[in-house]
Amino acid sequence: MEEEMHRADENGSDLSMLLVTVDKASDVEGRFGKDGFERVMGSLAKAIRASVRPYEIVGRYDHNQFGIVLVDTPANDAYLWAEKIRKNVAAQIISLDGKSFSITISTGVCGVLEGMKKEELVGNVTAVLNKAAEAGGNAVRVY
């Protein structure tokens, strides 16, 4: 992420970060256990990867979160990508232990400003992610 932030600064190009969390993750983990939750996270990873361009950076950020770095993408466009991901995830049917269900996600979006530090970007995207989750989930918020 730091390399891409440096590259965007040098080239004057846009860069945005998305932080995605599973809504009601503790309920999902309680229902299916740790192994089941990891399978849900694997399904989420595939849905995210299928929803973005091949050169985007996607990685597990925390227990129930993924970080996505969208290169050459301003925050307004990143919002559209986040909505696409949100809709694709909600439409995906997951089968576990003979049960079929879907999950929803909340997403925070923040564009990188010139000279911004990684810690500031992560703080901003985390703040708007929390607002999306607190609003009931299944939402995208932009910083």
The pLDDT tens digits for 61-107 are: 999 999 999 999 999 999 999 999 999 999 999 999 899 999 999 99
- The pLDDT value given to residue 54: 96
Tokens coding 18? 């998305």
pTM value surpassing 0.85: yes
Cβ atoms 105, 89 nearer than 8 A? yes
Amino acid identity of 32? F
**CA distances to 89, 103, 111, 113, 117 from 41, in Å:** 11, 10, 25, 30, 28
Cβ atoms 90, 73 nearer than 8 A? no
Tokens coding 63? 């227990």
Instruction: Tell me how far apart the alpha carbons of residues 110 and 108 are, in angstroms, rounded to a whole number.
Output: 7
